[in-house]
């Protein structure tokens, strides 16, 4: 009928819903309108109808604890957070000039980065499909910028191959793909695939190999201007202007044999895992901006310097005992109706916690990864100015494992902070056993093998071993098989429910912390609203 | 060991080298750090302790205390029965990681023998690589059972 207004477009409809009902509703609406949503996150929980006067004590003021507190208070619960440290945020942690790191064993590191420089010593990047983190960044007003994960101009490096010289990632990638494509072309032309493909499909395959691998008319991957278009040009022979040195020259591929033996292929799917697909994000000013945003909301609920020692449960309450973590002030006791516990199992398994024997067993059985991370400040961003590397990651078989270039302040003429090492496995324990000074010296020594500018340009750095962090005793959870154990860990035990990255299928990711916190909150609310 | 790493990705699909295979001496870090990406490379008990264990348990075995603790090994009566430290080193428990994939039987025997006789401990009955191998099988059976 002509009088009826035209149907709104789907976009206009979404915009209307978004404007009137908030982003969570928008996400729900998007799902029902048939957009694929790559996360179970459906917006902030609906906790309506909370009974009056119910209280929750939250153990741990990291992202999980603060998220749970934010939502529970919003729903009308009376919330207290106990935090061991004198700061909020837990592993969502950015080190800046003036900060101090206290490690077990008495080591102290003073962070002396220049103004505005920092290292995210815990989580450092956000996938575009981590919808809970992204939504809370929206709601809490945390500006994000792009985090560069994949950079074809960064390096692959092996101490024992190519004379220990770094190779541009893009060269190795294009040459490896080109040459395995060439081999597949040979096999196809010899009829090796005849039983798998029709004549027509074989012809299409050959056409695609030529196009995908940048093969010549004889299905060979050889030095040419065509491959230079993909892998890059030889040094000093890139396309120019005017008369002199203007015409580009073909570049020579790296021999397949050398690529195979260097094992560089093992790095070549790194950036293509689902969780590292571009674009990724980071908060402007450091990951801690997320922690600070939560702290702005729930900081008034946090009792700092509280070392939990004991959790007791009865039929109708939970009582938590704590000491002053610094040994100076008073300890105390808090009784609440429910408890959300985000204390990592490395620590919780050692406390006197009144839960089922099954949950106690799971706490002890869960292992945690080791990890060592280094932040190194240099006077000048030589990786950008000398080597045209803007963000991204160099991967090496040296013990530092990688060098990640900062995605913030690109192309500035000031200093920059690199991630100078990200170490797992036995090497991480070797670093864990060293003093911070020894670790730093080792990290610089290895890094200088890739970037000789290190020694001249280095100003200051920190190297943190997560096993020495007094409130973690490890880095993040390492489930062998989740199975029944996971179910036990994630299920409310009387009035006590665990949350944190370890109670998720996203270990080590902040998304896991938030999603588990929301599920913990859901369980408490369900219990509170049905047991009245 | 495949790391489902998250803060960063270490999908290093490094060659699967069991602790029993000796890593090539050229492997980066083996000389300077006493370890490769996959295994610890030292053989002497005290040296392995200094690389793998002392960061948490302390150079003198005194342990460390934060929100919870790394237990002291000095004067630790639980070391009396070798099977206990062997189990913890191989399989881990609580904050103790599992080192079973990174240390071979000889190395486990060496480091366990060291901590049972260092730091004022005096449990001199030898733990052999064969003992460790046998215990590993027991632990695996128990895990399955």
pLDDT at position A528 over 90? yes
pLDDT of A470-485, one tens digit each?
999 999 999 988 999 9
- pLDDT at residue number A235: 80
Start-to-end Cα distance in chain B: 23
For residue A531, the model assigns a pLDDT of: 77
Asked if A325 and B70 come within 8 Å (Cβ–Cβ), the reply is no
Grade residue A39 by pLDDT with cuts at 50, 70 and 90.
confident
Within-domain flag for A16: no
Q: Return d(Cα A421, Cα A424) in angstroms, integer.
A: 10
- Count: domains in chain A: 3
**How many A×B Cβ pairs under 8 Å?**
169
pLDDT at A34 over 70: no
Contact between B33 and A427 using a beta-carbon 8 Å cutoff: yes
Specify whether A308 is located in the same domain as A441.
no
Using the beta-carbon criterion (under 8 Å), do B11 and A506 form an inter-chain contact? no
* Nearest CB to B4 within list A371, A398, A507: A507
How far apart are alpha carbons B8 and A321 in whole angstroms?
36
**% chain A with pLDDT above 90:** 88
CB contact under 8 A, A506 and B6: yes
pLDDT tens per residue, range A324-347 = 999 988 899 999 999 999 999 999
Write the CA distances from B121 to A274, B50, B96, integer angstroms.
50, 17, 20
Nearest Cα of chain B lies from the Cα of A368 at a distance, in angstroms, of: 7
Closest of B126, B121, B18, B102 to residue B53, by C-alpha: B102
Q: Indicate whether A4 pLDDT > 90.
A: no
CATH code: domain of residue A488 = 3.50.50.60
Interface of B with A in 41-80 (CB under 8 A): 50-56, 58, 64-70
Structural domain boundaries enclosing A253: 168-261
Per-residue model confidence (pLDDT) at position A72:
98
Cβ-contact A321, A308 below 8 angstroms? yes
Q: Which of A387, A375, A331 is nearest to A82 (CA)?
A: A331
Question: Do A219 and A348 fall within a single domain?
Answer: no
Low pLDDT (below 70) residues in chain B: 1-25, 145
| Residue A237 within a domain | yes
- Is A14 a domain residue? no
Q: What number is the average pLDDT over the span A43-72?
A: 96
Over range A58-83, report the average pLDDT.
98
Whether A282 and A398 share a structural domain: yes
Q: Mutate which of A269, A280, A359, A426 to test chain B, going by most B C-beta atoms within 10 A?
A: A426
Model confidence at A236, pLDDT cuts 50, 70, 90, reads: confident
Q: Which of B54, B68, B92 faces A351 most closely, judged by CB atoms?
A: B68
Q: Any idea which of A278-292, A395-409, A501-515, B1-15 has the lowest mean pLDDT?
A: B1-15
Q: Which residue of B has its CA nearest to A91?
A: B7
Question: Do A186 and A141 belong together in one domain?
Answer: no
Whether A335 and A401 map to the same domain: the answer is: no
- Rounded Cα–Cα distance for residues A14 and A216 (Å): 49
Q: Which residues pair with A415 in a beta bridge?
A: none
Note the CATH number of domain B45-144.
1.10.760.10
Residue B74, burial from CB neighbour count under 10 angstroms (0-12, 13-18, 19+): middle
Instruction: Please report whether residue A272 resides in a domain.
Output: no
Instruction: Report yes or no on A13 lying in a domain.
Output: no
**Domain match, A281 and A392 both:** yes
Q: What single-letter DSSP state applies at residue B31?
A: T
Residue A102 belongs to a domain with what CATH number? 3.90.660.10
Q: For A228-251, what is the mean pLDDT?
A: 91
Q: Tens of pLDDT along A140-170? A: 999 999 999 999 999 999 999 999 999 999 9
In a domain? residue A18:
no
Out of A373, A432, A509, the one facing B6 most closely (by C-beta) is A509
More confident residue, A6 or A205: A205
Is A508–B6 a contact, with Cβ atoms under 8 angstroms apart?
A: yes
Which range is most confident: A12-21, A179-188, B2-11?
Answer: A179-188
Average pLDDT over residues A375-381: 98
The answer to whether the Cβ–Cβ distance between A426 and B66 falls below 8 Å is no
- CB atoms B9 and A351 under 8 Å: no
Given a cut of 90, is residue A107 above it in pLDDT?
A: yes
Structural domain boundaries in chain B: 45-144
Q: For B94, which residue in chain A has the nearest alpha carbon?
A: A364
For residue A425, the distance in angstroms to the closest alpha carbon of chain B comes to 6
Q: How close, in Å, is residue A307 to chain B by CA atoms?
A: 6
User: Which of A432, A474, A481 has the alpha carbon at shortest distance from A344?
Assistant: A474
Write down which residue in A468, A494, A511 finishes a domain. A468
Tally Cβ neighbours within 10 Å of residue A406.
24
List chain A residues with CB under 8 Å of B5.
369, 424, 508
Higher pLDDT, residue B1 or A78: A78
Q: Are residues A407 and A340 in the same domain?
A: no
CATH number at residue A240: 1.20.1440.240
- Closest residue, chain B, to A158 (C-alpha): B28
């Amino acid at each position: 009928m002509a009088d009826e207004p035209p149907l709104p477009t789907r976009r206009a409809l979404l915009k209307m819903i978004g404007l009137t009902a908030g982003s969570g509703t928008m996400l729900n609406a998007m799902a029902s309108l048939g957009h694929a949503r790559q996360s179970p996150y459906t917006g902030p929980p609906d906790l309506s109808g909370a009974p009056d006067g119910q209280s929750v004590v939250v153990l741990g003021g990291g992202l999980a604890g603060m998220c749970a507190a934010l939502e529970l208070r919003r729903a009308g619960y009376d919330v207290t957070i106990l935090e061991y440290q004198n700061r909020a945020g837990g592993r969502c942690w950015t080190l800046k000039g003036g900060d101090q790191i206290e490690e077990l064993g008495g080591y102290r590191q003073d962070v002396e980065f220049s103004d505005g420089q920092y290292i995210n010593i815990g989580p450092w990047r956000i996938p575009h499909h981590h919808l809970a983190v992204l939504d809370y960044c929206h709601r809490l007003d945390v500006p994000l910028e792009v985090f560069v994960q994949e950079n074809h101009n960064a390096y692959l490096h092996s101490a024992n191959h190519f004379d220990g010289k770094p190779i541009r990632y893009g060269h190795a990638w294009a040459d490896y793909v080109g040459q395995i494509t060439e081999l597949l072309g040979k096999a196809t032309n010899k009829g090796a695939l005849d039983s798998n493909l029709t004549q027509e499909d074989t012809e299409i395959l050959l056409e695609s190999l030529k196009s995908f691998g940048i093969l010549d008319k004889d299905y060979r991957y050889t030095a040419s201007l065509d491959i230079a278009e993909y892998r890059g040009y030889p040094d000093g022979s890139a396309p120019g202007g005017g008369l002199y040195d203007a015409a580009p020259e073909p570049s020579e591929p790296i021999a397949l044999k050398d690529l195979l033996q260097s094992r560089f292929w093992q790095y070549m799917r790194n950036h293509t895992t689902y969780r590292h697909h571009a674009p990724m994000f980071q908060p402007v000013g450091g990951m801690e901006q997320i922690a600070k945003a939560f702290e702005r909301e729930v900081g008034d609920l946090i009792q700092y310097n509280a070392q939990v020692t004991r959790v007791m449960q009865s039929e109708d309450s939970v009582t938590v005992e704590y000491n002053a973590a610094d040994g100076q002030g008073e300890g105390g006791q808090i009784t609440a109706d429910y408890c959300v516990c985000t204390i990592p199992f490395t620590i919780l398994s050692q406390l006197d916690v009144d839960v089922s024997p099954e949950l106690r067993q799971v706490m002890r059985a869960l292992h945690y990864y080791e990890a060592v991370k280094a932040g190194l400040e240099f006077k000048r961003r030589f990786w950008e100015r000398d080597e045209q590397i803007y963000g991204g990651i160099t991967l090496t078989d040296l013990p530092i494992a990688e060098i990640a270039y900062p995605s913030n302040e690109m192309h500035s003429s000031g200093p920059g902070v690199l991630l100078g090492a990200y170490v797992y496995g036995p090497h991480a324990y070797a670093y864990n056993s060293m003093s911070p000074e020894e670790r730093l010296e080792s990290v610089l020594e290895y890094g200088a093998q890739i970037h000789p500018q290190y020694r001249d340009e280095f100003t200051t750095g920190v190297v943190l071993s997560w096993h020495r962090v007094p409130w973690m005793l490890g880095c993040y959870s390492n489930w062998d098989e989740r199975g029944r154990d996971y179910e036990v860990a994630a299920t409310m035990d009387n009035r006590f429910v665990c949350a944190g990255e370890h109670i998720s299928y996203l270990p080590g990711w902040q998304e896991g912390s938030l999603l588990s916190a929301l599920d913990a909150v859901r369980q408490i609310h369900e219990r509170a609203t049905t047991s009245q | 060991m495949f790391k489902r790493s998250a803060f960063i990705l270490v999908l290093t699909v490094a060659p699967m080298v069991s602790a029993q295979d000796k890593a090539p001496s050229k492997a980066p870090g083996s000389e300077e750090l006493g370890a490769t990406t996959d295994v610890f490379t030292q053989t002497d008990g005290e040296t392995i302790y200094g690389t793998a264990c002392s960061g948490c348990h302390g150079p003198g075995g005194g342990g460390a205390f934060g929100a919870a603790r790394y237990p002291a090994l000095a004067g630790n009566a639980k070391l009396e029965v070798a099977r206990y430290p062997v189990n913890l080193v191989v399989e881990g428990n609580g904050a103790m990681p599992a080192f079973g994939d990174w240390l071979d039987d000889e190395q486990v025997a060496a480091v366990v023998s060291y901590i049972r006789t260092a730091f004022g401990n005096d449990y001199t009955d030898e733990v052999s690589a064969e003992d460790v191998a046998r215990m590993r099988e027991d632990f695996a059976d128990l895990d399955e059972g």
